[in-house]
Structure 1
């Protein structure tokens, strides 16, 4: 297999679906189901404040009323973020090392630009095999 040297910004999904931290978990669950996704960046005032995953949503749904629990109460407040110019190799290595399902791609002002998920990494692998 030939070596791939790419920046994560060249393979990220731009403009991912997002959610506000004040929304109920039920809205996050519906948004994920409607779009077939497993990760939602959480924004407050247009700024990235966290990440909620389908695993977070399922956990809340198993123990609480998903209408009453807010996204901000179940999200990961410090998700792994990378700049678009970060090497794909570095990003994938970090995802593997820390068992991360996604990486949020941000600019120098920490504004959300895109997302790169384990599914995206697998898609790239399939394309190259």
Structure 2
């Protein structure tokens, strides 16, 4: 049973699974924006031009505030997901040691210019370097 739980943990903690879950949540939150855009802008414009209904300024202000509210809700949801993912990545990196990266450059002892680590002659001052 312990092995099964460890395998499930490795499966659930894989990066692509988290990306997919966040994509589904963001997609659901974006649905609210699309629905609000349709209900508060596209349908009223179509109703106005087809003569189905004439809107007052209060109606238009209500449409705009409803759309802005759905956009703000989406931004809040996206920010919360961003913070959760950032915290999750930080928790997953605890205990993992980063391997030191081998230097790719060195300093010329004569002119103090930065040169490639395997260079045998400085390209700046043309001094012969020791290996």
TM-score, scaled to structure 2: 0.25
More helix per residue? 2
TM-score, scaled to structure 1: 0.25
More strand per residue? 1
Bigger radius of gyration among the two: 2
